[in-house]
Structure 1
Amino acid sequence: MDTITRQDRITLKNLKVADFASEETLCFTATVMFDGRPIAEARNDGHGGSTFVRALQGQAALLAQAEEFAKSLPPASLDVEREDDEPLLIDMTLDFLVDQLADAMHAERKLRTAFNRDIGNKVLFIKDGRLLFLKGIKLKAIADRAAYFAKLRSRQDQPIVILAELPADEAFAIWKQHVLGDKPR
């Protein structure tokens, strides 16, 4: 699924994914939050069935409110090829929204892990709008990074952006844009 329903009232916390058990769907457990309060436990066994959402003790009324809120959201448009070229629309439900949130969180975690591996092991930089790295040079092995980066810049015929010099979130956004081909948001 390429897009996630945009809203900020329902979120997940304590997401645990079992990739090895995920077959048809993502196998996970998570705590469902509604307006910042834990209201339910969600789980999916990863075999293509539904996600089960069970109210935490004393939270049944809030779970019902969350379900009503989820139903009020616009239908999700799935990117599925159809003969009539019309998008496949699915009415929003709480369990479907929880699936979307779990998928998005898991994908983001996997991307973040790949980024952390790259940023820790490579001297990554942007030159001519392309993400490049120095082959055979480990970032962790550079003792005086400031001097090394200054020397690297001096050898370039045009300005470069070295990702290790940027705040982590900014470096991640740039890396993600180049790796996934995403447009900046």
Structure 2
Amino acid sequence: MENITNQDRITLKNLKVADFASEETLCFTATVIFDGKPVATASNDGHGGSTRLLALEGQRDRFTEAEAFAASLPPDVTEYDDPNDRSRRFTIDITLDYLVDGLANAIHADRKLRTSFNRDVGNKVLFIKDGKLLFIKGIKLKAIADRKTYFASLRTRQAQPIVILAELPPEQAFDLWKQHVLGDKPD
């Protein structure tokens, strides 16, 4: 799946997910963007079937180019054994619908993760101490009037140095939070 999120020629726009309708697969609709321009609509009903792609009017040639680009990507080597040869991993050739599925799942997972982060960082005094993500129970970040003084006081009460997430730029705080919440599981 790494080759899906590392390429930047095919992206999605206007992704709408219906979690309540997602059963076997992610239920979604989106616009497929190829080299910065819309080429197709994508949809999946969430019942385990494949994603339907419909080329936009006048974009059939570019849609075909997008399909060819997707097919040129290295195959997805899964963590599962190949049913025909247990000594190898199951490998999936990339198609445009497979790529779109992967992108939709990655974007949706990132959105959910960011929502969780925003809830945590907005409500808790989160900090890293001794390689662990911690927070102070019963203290809401929003209720602290003088954060600078409070954070200085918090630092003096600690035996080891700490990193307070609320003092970091948002992306750096998110990356640090994610590293501690997910551990070595980036997906």
The TM-score with structure 2 as length reference comes to: 0.93
* Aligned AA (1:37): K
Match 1:160 to one of 159, 162, 175: 162
Task: Describe how 1:109-120 pairs up with structure 2 within 5 A.
Answer: 109-120=111-122
1:125 maps to 2:104:
no
Relative to its length, the structure with more strand (as a share) is 2
Tell me if structure 1 keeps the 8 A contact 2:3–2:73.
Answer: no
Task: Describe how 1:99-110 pairs up with structure 2 within 5 A.
Answer: 99-110=101-112
* Correspondence for 1:93: 95
Q: Distance in 2 between matches of 1:82 and 1:72?
A: 22
How far residue 154 of structure 1 moved from its aligned partner, in angstroms, is 1.2
Tell me if structure 1 keeps the 8 A contact 2:82–2:91.
Answer: no
* Correspondence for 1:135: 137
* Correspondence for 1:22: 22
| Post-superposition CA distance 1:158-184 (Å, at most 9, x none) | 211000000110000000000000389
The alignment's C-alpha RMSD in Å is: 1.5
* Aligned AA (2:96): L
Tell me if structure 1 keeps the 8 A contact 2:144–2:150.
Answer: yes
Identity percentage of aligned residues: 69
Tell me if structure 1 keeps the 8 A contact 2:3–2:74.
Answer: no
Tell me if structure 2 keeps the 8 A contact 1:77–1:90.
Answer: yes
* Correspondence for 1:149: 151
Which deviates more from structure 2 when the two are superposed, residues 50-59 or residues 163-172?
Answer: 50-59
**Equivalenced residues, count:** 183
Moved over 6 A (4+): none
* Correspondence for 1:64: 64
Q: Distance in 2 between matches of 1:36 and 1:133?
A: 42
SS in structure 1 at match of 2:41: strand
